[in-house]
Amino acid sequence: MAALLGQEGSAERMLIITGRVLCLLAVLWMAWAVSGMAWLASGHDGSRLSGVAPSVSVRSVAAPVDLMKLSSLNLFGQASVLPSGVAAENAPDTSLQLRLAGVFVSTDPNRSSAIVAEQSQPTGKLYRLNESLPGGATLESVFEDRILIRRGAGNPEVLRFEKTGLLDGAPSSSPASTLMVGGVPSVRALLGSAADAMHRSSSDFLKEMGLRASGSGYEVSSDTPEQIRAGAGLQPGDKILSVNGQQLGNLQADMQILESLKNGGTARVEIQRGAQIVTIERKF
């Protein structure tokens, strides 16, 4: 932890670290509060998603998944090979009333999957390639920011992540913003508590959380409390890379993200494990 804190008495360095860790902590608490990343440790398939808070991505390579085998499987991934670059680039947005809640993009396109929900429904379901979606479409391919679907013999259509209002501080009318979610305090309440704790004693809190700046985001260490790591489905070495496409690490920007998270909105989070990356989206 000494490496994280740097030289004692450096107020500027401590301020930078505080801003960075507040942003990381916001993401950790958000995920923990709504079990948004518990799919990494649950050992269940997409059927579990019905009990998860809205717009939280869940992924399982097989049903069920053995927790001990997770580290050896491609749980994350880079962009898959496009079946048709022209079709993917030129496909129109779908008119189906669907919402993209999460994606799993594998280096093996056949193992990619997505979480899709009907606009009228608070929760979604995990779909693999060629499976039927609500509205009569099938899932054709998965990318980091969108999916390609097809209705019958028609042309491919695109379903994208919804535009986020997080950095604008747009409040959400979601009940999850003010109520308890799954028996735990709301995201806003947890973020407020975390911020208060940081202000009271940032050095003690940093040590407690076991957080480390990695140069490109924030790394979870073995010193991070086990209950938080387990609840969020994280393990030592995992990195929180970005929120809503904004790379973590800039003090002012990170503080803005934290304040916006406290006000509600939508967060799209990139998490890295080894060489693979997964994207999770959550409204609150």
pLDDT computed for residue 234 by the predictor: 74
pLDDT computed for residue 66 by the predictor: 41
Cis peptide before 225 (omega within 30 of 0): no
Q: Is the pLDDT of residue 173 over 50?
A: no
Radius of gyration (C-alpha) of the chain in whole angstroms: 19
The string of DSSP codes covering 173-185 is --GGGTS-BTTB-
184 phi, psi to nearest 5 deg: -120, 160
Q: Is the pLDDT of residue 140 over 90?
A: yes
Quick check: 28 and 232 in contact, CB under 8 A? yes
The residue ranges of every structural domain in the chain are 2-37+168-283, 44-160
Higher-confidence position of 276 and 132: 132
Q: Is the pLDDT of residue 259 over 80?
A: no
Q: Is the pLDDT of residue 139 over 60?
A: yes
Q: Is the pLDDT of residue 150 over 90?
A: yes
CATH number of 44-160: 2.30.30.830
pLDDT computed for residue 17 by the predictor: 44
pLDDT computed for residue 255 by the predictor: 62
pLDDT tens column, 100-114: 877 777 777 787 888
pLDDT tens column, 269-281: 778 877 777 776 6
Q: Is the pLDDT of residue 130 over 70?
A: yes
Q: Does the global pTM surpass 0.95?
A: no
pLDDT tens column, 82-100: 444 545 678 899 999 998 8
Residue 192 CA, distance from chain mean position: 20
Quick check: 280 and 56 in contact, CB under 8 A? yes
- The encoded tokens of residue 101 equal 């809640």
For the residues 5-31, what does the mean pLDDT come to? 47
Give the percent of the chain with pLDDT over 90.
10
Higher-confidence position of 207 and 279: 279
Q: Which residues pair with 246 in a beta bridge?
A: 243
Q: Is the pLDDT of residue 43 over 50?
A: no
Q: Is the pLDDT of residue 61 over 50?
A: no
Q: Is the pLDDT of residue 147 over 50?
A: yes
pLDDT computed for residue 95 by the predictor: 93
Average pLDDT, the chain: 62
Nearest alpha carbon to residue 167 among 265, 96, 91, 280: 265
| pLDDT band at residue 162 under the 50/70/90 scheme | confident
